[in-house]
Chains A and B, each alone.
With several copies, the nearest count.
Chain A
Amino acid sequence: MNKVFTNADDAVKDISNGAVIMLGGFGLCGIPENCIAALVKKRVNNLTCISNNAGVDDFGIGLMLQQKQLKKMIASYVGENAEFERQLLSGELEVELIPQGTLATRCMAAGYGMPAIFTPAGVGTEVATGKEIRNFKGKDYLLEEAFDADFAIVKAWKGDTQGNLIYKATARNFNPMMAMAGKITIAEVEELVEPGELDPNQIHTPGIYVHRIFQGVNYEKRIEQRTVRQLAN
């Protein structure tokens, strides 16, 4: 049982055209930079990507959009990407925008073996179109099905060779749920350690969910909105 892969190219080798992929991260924070670069290099296309955002024009999933590698994007917010907007408005790209909590919970549902969940988000809006509505104790909820992704690609801070993962700060975001949800889960980590080096009480994603792991290189960790302290008003 060896889960350790050499690098991103190796780890994504069998992701082929038409695959459904989840990618962790919120904005550019906690995104699997190495795997995205490998997918860009590999020029695999016709992908369906499930990720909260679509990156920016020249970083993150934006890099795959530039090469038109995506058939469909499922996200909650795509506001920082001009190429995305162009492909969407021109009809080149199929887009499903869903509430952020629904996105997170549909990942969680997959990881927890729940076929669907109920959420009030989107009731009475166009998000509810075609969906089953059910009332519990006087409140309406939408039935939302668990995602079904071929691959989940996540980024963690530390990981061990058995696949246990620890995320850092808000770079955690969607990564834990996606790690649980993939049929095959690929984790890239800033630091790969031997089993026993991580405190078993502090692990965010137990290794059972992770099929492949490698230590990433050259993390840029780009900041989208660098904001520093100033006096109020």
Chain B
Amino acid sequence: MALDKYQIAQRIAKELQDGYYVNLGIGIPTLVANYIPEGINVILQSENGLLGMGPFPEEGKEDADYINAGKQTITTLPGSAFFDSAMSFGMIRSGKVNLTVLGAMEVSEQGDIANWKIPGKMVKGMGGAMDLVASAKNIIVAMMHTNPKGESKLLPHCSLPLTGVQCVKKIVTDLAVIELTANGFKLLERAPGVSVEEIKNKTAGKLMVEGNVPEMQF
């Protein structure tokens, strides 16, 4: 059965390691914060200027001056630090952020990603995504395997304007965990009960399948 967005976040959380500084994009990536494994310490970077992002505030304790990159009200944690946007993207560009998780509209076999613009339809802007994908050492995409029309979002080449090139390392969808290799997409894990065949059918780009592909563990 395909994962829901919470389970996608839960699976991605397993990629976290102790001491990681992590930037979580808007949408499913934000949910990853709810599943940080016990016993490891992960520090969330919010590119508007905060390290050590805490949970949402309790009702009535929202402060307009405390927001995350999704403009949501947030709190700090012991050890948090505020900084300006130049320093924020400085730490991103200099590779200090260990992992970036973000959503995508399309990912190509080469690891290209498109997630900021649909010509003639949607003009929202790239925000910090282009900086993040151009610099992060490790980039995981969290997305549905297909778009609302049922078309694959894992393509030989992106059709939409790119956000970055050859940068995605891993994709976690509702159906699969996929690694980006020199030879294209490689299937690492299946969602529980989802067949290799179904994943193949819903992956427009070349998909390598080696041996027995295990089901995701939670």
* Nearest CB in chain B: distance from A50 CB, A: 13
Chain A residue at minimum C-beta to C-beta distance from B92: A101
Chain B residue at minimum C-beta to C-beta distance from A197: B78
Stretch at the interface among A22-30, A64-72, A130-138: A22-30
Q: Is the interface of A mostly helix, strand, loop or mixed?
A: loop
Contact yes or no, B18 A229, CB < 8 A: no
A1, A157, A207: the one within 8 Å of B81 (CB) = A207
In the complex, which residues 61-117 of chain B have their Cβ closer than 8 Å to any Cβ of chain A?
Answer: 61-74, 76-97, 112
Interface flag for A43 (CB, 8 Å): no
* Nearest CB in chain A: distance from B4 CB, A: 10
**Alpha-carbon distance between A85 and B91 when the two chains are bound, in angstroms:** 32
Contact yes or no, A232 B86, CB < 8 A: no
A105, A167, A175, A226: the one within 8 Å of B89 (CB) = A105
A207 proximity list for chain B (CB < 8 A): 43, 51-52, 79, 81
Given A126-B161, A207-B51, check contact A172 B83 (CB 8 Å): yes
Given A104-B86, A104-B88, A112-B93, check contact A195 B78 (CB 8 Å): yes
Contact yes or no, A122 B66, CB < 8 A: no
3 nearest A-B pairs in the assembled complex, by CB-CB distance = A113-B93, A196-B78, A101-B89
Residues on B facing A (Cβ under 8 Å): 6, 18-19, 21, 34-35, 40-41, 43, 45-52, 55-59, 61-74, 76-97, 112, 123-131, 134-135, 161-166
Supply 23 A–B pairs (Cβ within 8 Å), ascending by A: A27-B67, A75-B125, A78-B125, A101-B130, A102-B131, A104-B88, A105-B90, A111-B90, A113-B93, A119-B134, A120-B93, A157-B65, A170-B66, A172-B84, A174-B85, A201-B82, A203-B83, A204-B84, A207-B52, A208-B45, A225-B73, A228-B57, A228-B73
